[in-house]
Amino acid sequence: MLAVGADQLVIGASRLAFARGISPIVVGALVIGFGTSAPEMLVSGLAAADGNPDLGVGNIIGSNVANLSLVLGVSALVGAVAVAGRYIRVARSTLWREGVVSLGAVLLFWVLVQDGFERWEGIVLLAGFTLAMAIIVKRPNHDAGAADASSPDKPISQSAELGRTLLGLAATVLGAQMAVTGAVDIAEEVGLGAGFVGLSLVAVGTSLPELITGVQAARRGQADLLVGNILGSNTFNSLLVSAVVALVGPGPLVDANLSGLAVWIMIGISVVAWVLMFQGDGLERWWEGALLLAVYLGSLPFLVSDHEENASRRANLAAAPVAEAVEEAPGASGPGALPATRH
C-alpha cells in the first residue's frame, strides 16, 4: 500500500501542478507535505488525548530527524546511484523560502517544548503555522508549468489526476498507520519507554510516507516535489502537529531527553541538511546522501533515555499535585494545626 500509493501520489500531484500552472515545490510543501504528515498528526493527537504527551512529542522530533536524514539521505542515494544522473537539485529560492520557514518552525518548536506544552503555546504554534503557510502560498510561480518526467504528452484530465492523488494519499496514510500500530504493539510487548518509542519506532513508521514518496520522487526525477515534501512535512510537524498536542493534551514531559539532547539533535540535523543542500545546486554527490543516512543511524543511540531517571521523574510529577493539595488544605500544618483524628 505504501509503495503503490506513494507512487500514484507523486504522479497525480506533479501532473496537477503541471496542468494548473502551480509550482511543484508548492504542491510538495502543501498538498503532499500535509498528506504525509497526517500519520504524525493522528498518532501524536491521540497520544496527547490519552495523557501521553511524551509519545506525541517524541513522534514529532523523531519524524523531523528522520525526514532530513533518513528520507533525504536514502532519496539522494537513489537519485545518484539507482537512477544515474538524477541528483537532488535544489533551487536557491527554495532554500531561502521553504528551507528558512522549516528552520524557523523547528526553532519555535524547540523554544516552546521545554518542560512540555501549555494551551497558550498551542495557540502560538497555530499562529506560526498560519504565517508559514502564507509565506509558502505567496511563492512566485515563475517556475510553474515546467515539464517533468510525470507529465504526459497527451492532455491531462485534472479530475482523473485529482482522484489518483487522493487515492494515493489515502493508501499511503493507511499503510503507514498500519505499520505504526504494529510497531507500537511490539514496543509495548518489549517494554520500551513512550518517549523512545515515539523517537524511534513510531517516528520511522509515521515517516514511511515521506520515505516512500521521496524515493519515488527521486526515481522519477521530481526533486522539487521531494524537497517540498520534506520541508513541508517538517513545517507541519513542528507547528501544526505540535499545536494539536498542546491543545488536546497539555502537560509536562516525563522524558527529559525530549526537551534536551533529542531536540538539539533535531536542530543540528536540520542545519546540516540545509547547508548540504545549499552547497552547489543541491545534493549532487552520492556521499552527501550517505552522510545524512550515517548521521541518522549515529544519532539513534543518543535518543535512548534513562529509564530509572524517567521513572523517578514520573513519580515526582504524580506526587506533585498531591503535595500541593496537602499544602493548600486548611489546618494541614503549622503551629495551630490540630492533630489528625482517627475514626
List the CATH number of the domain containing 122.
1.20.1420.30
Q: Establish if 246 belongs to a structural domain.
A: yes
Q: Which residues of 139-164 are buried (b: 16+ CB within 10 A; e: fewer)?
A: beeeebbeebebeeeeeeeeeebeeb
Q: Which residues contact 327 (CB under 8 A, 6 or more apart)?
A: 333
Neighbours of 180 (CB within 10 A): 22
Tell me, rounded to whole angstroms, the distance of Cα 303 from its chain centroid: 16
CA 281-283-286 angle, to 5 degrees, is 135
The predicted structure's pLDDT at residue 241:
92
The predicted structure's pLDDT at residue 276:
84
Print the domain residue range for 124: 25-140+175-303
Q: Establish if 224 belongs to a structural domain.
A: yes
DSSP of 78-94: IIIIISTT--EE--HHH
Q: Establish if 105 belongs to a structural domain.
A: yes
* pLDDT at residue 200 is higher than 70: yes
Q: Establish if 210 belongs to a structural domain.
A: yes
Q: Establish if 156 belongs to a structural domain.
A: no
**How many residues are given for the chain?**
343
Q: Which residue has the higher pLDDT, 309 or 41?
A: 41
Task: Tell me the percentage of the chain whose pLDDT exceeds 70.
Answer: 75
Residues 241-265: tens digit of each pLDDT: 999 999 998 888 887 788 888 889 9
Q: Which residues contact 331 (CB under 8 A, 6 or more apart)?
A: 337, 338
Q: Establish if 218 belongs to a structural domain.
A: yes
d(CA 123, CA 121): 5
**CB burial of residue 118 (10 Å; 0-12, 13-18, 19+):** middle
* pLDDT at residue 336 is higher than 50: no
Q: Establish if 245 belongs to a structural domain.
A: yes
Q: How many domains does the chain have?
A: 1
Enter the C-alpha cell of residue 255. Answer: 522524558
Neighbours of 189 (CB within 10 A): 8
**CB burial of residue 110 (10 Å; 0-12, 13-18, 19+):** middle
pTM of the predicted structure, to 2 decimals: 0.74
pLDDT band at 107 (very low <50, low <70, confident <90, very high): very high
Q: Establish if 146 belongs to a structural domain.
A: no
Round the average pLDDT of the chain to a whole number and report it: 76
